Amino acid sequence: MAPEAPRHPSPPFTKESAIQKVRLAEDGWNGRNPSQVALAYTPDSKWRNRADFPEGRDQIEAFLSRKWAKELDYRLIKELWAYDGNRIAVRYAYEYRDDSGNWFRAYGNENWEFDTNGYMERRFASINEHPIKPADRKFHWPLGRRPDNHPSLSDLGL
């Protein structure tokens, strides 16, 4: 198999390139296309996501397909927390509704580790969520990429 083209930005990260990598990840997840998102990870990537431990792109794609089939109207904001070399720490929040119309907000932290070509090798996520009232929602942009002028997590007090 031919080596994959680099996925920029690649490590070692600067503050600017880490912020760019975080935004690209956010944009991908807000696109909710499991096969596209899975391509950001190494073929043997290892995850921890709550009680799920997918390994490799096929399992990641299956995991994301299940996730977005039940987490409807999903909107996510990620924010850089720290970076060093080939690692990035992120905090994030997302909102979604279930098929009964109940809304939720989830908060989490992720630790990412990248290979030299910029593909994520490891992703460790810790997540908490709680129900919210529709009036308490803060993420109101049309489905897809968060507009550049939408407030960040820090701006929203999250």
32: left (phi over 0), alpha (psi -120 to 50) or beta: left
Q: Which residues pair with 94 in a beta bridge?
A: 76, 106
User: What one-character-per-residue DSSP string does 109-144 give?
Assistant: EEEEEE-TTS-EEEEEEEEEEEEE-GGG----SPSS
| Total number of domains in the chain | 1
Mean pLDDT of the chain: 96
pLDDT reported for residue 49: 92
Q: What is the CATH number of the domain that holds 125?
A: 3.10.450.50
The answer to whether residue 144 sits within a structural domain is: no
- Note the pTM of the prediction, 2 decimals: 0.95
Q: Which amino acid is at 100?
A: S
Tell me which residue range forms the domain holding 50: 15-136
pLDDT tens for 69-128 read: 999 999 999 999 999 999 999 999 999 999 999 999 999 999 999 999 999 999 999 999
The answer to whether residue 119 sits within a structural domain is: yes
